[in-house]
Structure 1
Amino acid sequence: MNALELNGIETRIGRYNVLHEVSFTVPEGGVFVLLGRNGAGKTTTLRTIMGFWTPHAGSVRFRDTEISGLHTSVIARKGVAFVPEDMGIFRALTVAENMTLATARGQFDSARLDWIFDLFPALKTFWNTAAGGLSGGQKQMLAVARAIIEPRALILIDEPTKGLAPAIVDAMAEAFQEIARDTTILLVEQNFEFARALGRDMAVIEDGRIVHTGSIEAFAEDTELQTRLLSLSV
């Protein structure tokens, strides 16, 4: 069983067709990477999966269940979480309050919370600190921690390393490797070395269309393909 299947997704925002027959499959387990230039449609793809945008055509299936057209809250209750590029934290609330809002019943599973503190020790240190006072890296840790405070089958993560210092990026990579042991991650990322260290399979989106799918290692070895699709050489 696959974690996620997109088949022929068409998404319009206002007068504009943003996604054009987007199709790809995310296998169960590990990290799947969605690459593309700025404005290619990566974020719109994640937001369509999560139900913020309703596709005008096509199918989104999560573990063999059709979820396209469902409300975002329903999709979340089925076991899908979303970490947006802007992190979406509540700056005036403490770390503890932000985390509490992400729980199902306003209560923590103590073992799971300890696991999260092992992944992101800074969150324990700043537990009673307003989230707006955290560093950029700590805010990103909080955003990811909220997504995993309840067990999830699939996490959509949009540009988690953007603007972060290298040491924080390395810590984030270690955390993602641990999270991916029992949760599938669909990762949108501009930092290819970060993506390559984590990912197994990938897709490239260009102008709202999927133009390449395959293994991330094969893509890393094909400099001509990298240049043609992403204007880079890794």
Structure 2
Amino acid sequence: MTLLSLQNMQTKIEQYSVLHDVSFDVPEGGVFVLLGRNGAGKTTTLRSIMGLWKPNPGSVTFRDQDITGLHASDIAKRGIAFVPENMGIFGGLTVAENMILATANGKFDQTRLERIYTLFPALKKFWDKQAGTLSGGQKQMLAVSRAIIEPRELILIDEPTKGLAPAIVNAMAEAFREISANTTILLVEQNFEFARSLGRDMAVIDDGRVVHRGTMADFVADKPLQDRLLSLSMFEEEAE
């Protein structure tokens, strides 16, 4: 079943056209990965889905309902969360205060909170610490936790492993596997090893256009296609 559908989506930022006719479907369940070179339009795609930038023309459909042009807060109320590349946490607030701000009514569902503690034990340890004092990996854990403290059907996550140590990346992968068992994830990621370990379906965007759609398994098996669409640089970085 299709959960999210983008049809002929175009987005302009000021006078510049960034997305050109972007179309793909995200099936319900698991992890859908959006790949592409730096500057290809991946982040713009996520922000356009979330209503932070307005696609025109084109449409964004979530559970067969048109959400194109809705305010980001209204989109969030429909069960979609966004974890931006800059994580979006408040450094001057404690971990607890950051989490409270992400709840609907300022109160935690204890079952969900305990699940987050299981996924990210460091958050319980640093619960009363200022978020700005956390390591990069801990901040990313907090950002993801904020996205799942309320029930969500879809989470958009932008470059979650950027700058993280390998051990933290592995822990994040395990957490994403568990989260995606109940919540669909649309993931933008440059770390191809991380992306292919999680992704079931995928698309590649280049110069604001979708140039490939398919399963991750088929894409992994086709090295010439990887090299052509993503360039060797991504894979060389992972091998270092």
TM-score range relative to shorter protein: over 0.9
1:92 partner amino acid: G
Consecutive aligned runs of 4 or more in structure 1 exceeding 3 Å deviation: none
Alpha-carbon distance in structure 2 between the residues aligned to 1:90 and 1:191: 26
- Letter matched to residue 18 of structure 2: V
Match of 2:193 in 1: 193
* Alignment TM-score, normalising by the size of structure 1: 0.99
Aligned residue type for 2:213: T
List alignment gaps of at least 5 residues for structure 2: 236-240
TM-score normalised per structure 2 = 0.96
Deviations 1:172-197 (A, max 9, x none): 00000000011000000001111111
Partner residue in 2 for 1:219: 219
What's 2:238 paired with? none
Residue aligning to 2:175 = 175
Write the mapping of 1:73-88 to structure 2, written as runs, cut at 5 A. Answer: 73-88=73-88
| In the alignment, structure 1 residue 127 sits paired with structure 2 residue 127 | yes
The CA RMSD measured in Å over matched residues stands at 0.8
The question of 1:109 aligning with 2:106 is answered no
Deviations 1:176-222 (A, max 9, x none): 00000110000000011111111100000000000000011111111
Give the aligned partner of residue 95 of structure 1.
Answer: 95
Structure 2 Cα separation of the partners of residues 52 and 77 of structure 1: 15
Percent identity at matched positions? Answer: 72
Output the CA distance in 1 between the equivalents of 2:14 and 2:98. 32
Q: Secondary structure at the residue paired with 1:57? A: coil
The reply on whether 1:148 has 2:168 as its aligned counterpart is no
SS of residue in 2 equivalent to 1:82: strand
Q: How do residues 21-60 of structure 1 correspond to structure 2 at under 5 angstroms?
A: 21-60=21-60
Cα-to-partner distance string for 1:104-124 (whole Å, 9 max, x where unaligned): 000000011000000000000
Q: How far is the alpha carbon of 1:67 from its aligned partner?
A: 0.5
Q: Which amino acid aligns with 1:119?
A: L
Query: 1:71 — aligned with what?
Result: 71
Partner of 1:20: 20
